[in-house]
Amino acid sequence: MQYISNSLENQWMGYTSNRDFKKNPRLIIKGKGINYTNHHGENIIDGSSGLFCCAAGHGRKEIADAVSKQLMEIDYTPHFQIASPSSFELASRLAAMTPSGLDHVFFTNSGSESIDTALKIVMAYNKARGDGYRSRFISRERAYHGTNIGGTSLSGLMKNREIFGSVMPGVAHMRHTWSPNSRFTRGQSEDGMELAEDLQRFCELYGGSNIAACFVEPIAGSTGCLVPPEGYLQRLREICDLHGILLVFDEVITGFGRTGKSFASESFGVKPDIMTLAKALTNGVLPMGAVVVKNEIYETIINNASDGAIELFHGHTHSGNPASCAAGLATLDIYDNENLFQRGADLSGYFLDKVFSLEDIPSVADLRGYGLFAGIDIKADGAPGVAGTRLMKALFAAGLHVKFTGDCALVAPPLISEKKDIDNIFGIFRDVLVSSNKKQ
């Protein structure tokens, strides 16, 4: 194991079975295009764009050059009271891409920070507009909104919540949108729009004027690509408007072309009041997140403070970090120059055909997909996640990296993928699933 000079013991890895990993580590030492190389020198296709980050593929020289140039010009500047020009340039570029009227951008370093920042912006906005009694937040079962205390409170995944007590109070969860009747639905299901009425029921239970915001992932990502039923997001928007509730779309996974458009809000034709972003903003190359808000939210908070006073007591040492901004700008250039969102949209039909071709395999329990994103549920075998982890390891050994949550494989190839890459991904998937069926 030439790449492991030290013991593996000292690093404590997140969302990992540390004991199991350290017995037989999976180390990635190179990346180019849609491929990784592991420490045995074997090729591993990146079937999940890392963790839904590397939309433009690995080893992008344009990004490395831009970061290197930035570091040699100005490596670091605080973002409180002084700032680097590249952060303003990136904010303008993002504002031009996000839905009209959402033109103000707050930089963070991750999706988790974007979520907790969005929670604080909602609170600050409601205070500033004299609606400070709006203290309740609505989220959804099976939601994933990162790992900070706010995001953990919004989380709808039992394992991510159960040992962390009641965390932030005042959060209620709508039902998730998966139903056994909609198994094997490609794209949006015609059934399930009525699940949005859960929000209306919370308004009737708590009083709509006490609810501050409703947080949803347009497609619930980490839980397994739950595509919203037709009309569902539109109905959430209507209920929010009726009661003055802010609608927050967590687009940390769905942003930057994953759904065939710049953002899922565009794909589904629903405009939120706030969007949270991260991951593919820098092609995953450097940590960065952003919260994009409706102009009225920004203006209300800004204009509520006295002249010369700080308007929002919130920020990070690395908000608008120059190197991350340079990576972001170079990434957005690649998306534009290579028309990558359209390329992803053009490949979606072929990709989904391959996903749904797995339906005949007995161990496949459900398939879902939209854009270049799919969830493949496999039948449980013992405790939840046992079958999924076994399959994840078998796929990796066969040359394919896929991110799993429990017994669900999340396939999300880079937007630069070609049909032959999709063939290779699903060729490996089928072979491994079929051979593991034979062994059972």
Ligand X SMILES: Cc1ncc(COP(=O)(O)O)c(C=O)c1O
- Interaction site with ligand X (CB under 6 A): 110-112, 115, 144-146, 217, 221-222, 250, 252-253, 278
Q: Indicate the residue whose CB is closest to ligand X.
A: 111
Closest to ligand X by CB, 216 vs 422, is 216
Beta carbon of residue 31, minimum distance to ligand X (angstroms, whole number): 19
Closer CB to ligand X, residue 108 or residue 363?
Answer: 108
Residue by residue, DSSP assigns 381-413 as -SSTTHHHHHHHHHHHHTTEE-EEETTEEEE--
Report which secondary-structure segment, H or E, holds 270.
none
Q: Shortest approach of ligand X to residue 367 CB, angstroms?
A: 20
Minimum distance from residue 408 beta carbon to ligand X (Å): 14
Q: Which of residues 141 and 381 has its CB atom nearest to ligand X in the complex? A: 141
Q: What DSSP line would sit under 298-319, residue for residue?
A: HHHHHHHSPTTS-S-----TTT
CA 326 to chain centroid, in Å, comes to 21
Confirm if 261 and 249 have CB atoms less than 8 A apart.
no
Quick one: how far is CA 169 from the chain centroid? 24
Q: Closer to ligand X at the Cβ: 117 or 222?
A: 222
Taking the complex as a whole, the smallest distance from the CB of residue 209 to ligand X amounts, in Å, to: 28
Q: Cα-flanking dihedrals φ and ψ of residue 153, to 5°?
A: -65, -35
Query: Minimum distance from CB of 263 to ligand X (Å)?
Result: 13
Closer residue to ligand X, CB minimum distance, 28 or 434: 28
Query: In whole angstroms, how close is the CB of 174 to ligand X at the nearest point?
Result: 16
**Residue whose CB is less far from ligand X, 280 or 364:** 280
Smaller CB separation from ligand X, 146 or 192: 146
Residues 6+ apart with CB under 8 A from 183: 365, 366, 367
Neighbours of 13 (CB within 10 A): 11
Min separation Cβ 89 and ligand X, Å: 22
Query: 136-140 and 211-216 as β-strands: parallel, antiparallel, unpaired?
Result: parallel
Closest by Cα among 115, 133, 138 to 123: 133
Of the candidates 429, 415, 401, 430, which has an alpha carbon nearest to the alpha carbon of residue 36?
Answer: 401
Q: How far apart are CA 419 and CA 237, in angstroms?
A: 37
Minimum distance from CB of 51 to ligand X (Å)?
6
144 with 222: CB under 8 angstroms? yes
Sequence-ordered alpha helix ranges (H) in 275-385: 295-304, 322-337, 340-356
Single-letter residue type at 36: Y
Sheet holding 102-108, edge to edge: 102-108, 289-294, 274-277, 246-250, 211-216, 136-140, 171-174
Residue with Cβ nearer ligand X (98 or 110):
110
- Residue 147 Cβ, how far from ligand X at the closest point, in Å? 6
Which residue, 144 or 256, is less far from ligand X as judged by CB? Answer: 144
DSSP string, 4-56: --S-STT---TTS-HHHHHHS---EEEEEBTEEEETTS-EEEETTHHHHT-TT
Task: For ligand X, give the closer residue by CB, 208 or 221.
Answer: 221
CB of 221 to ligand X, least distance (A): 5
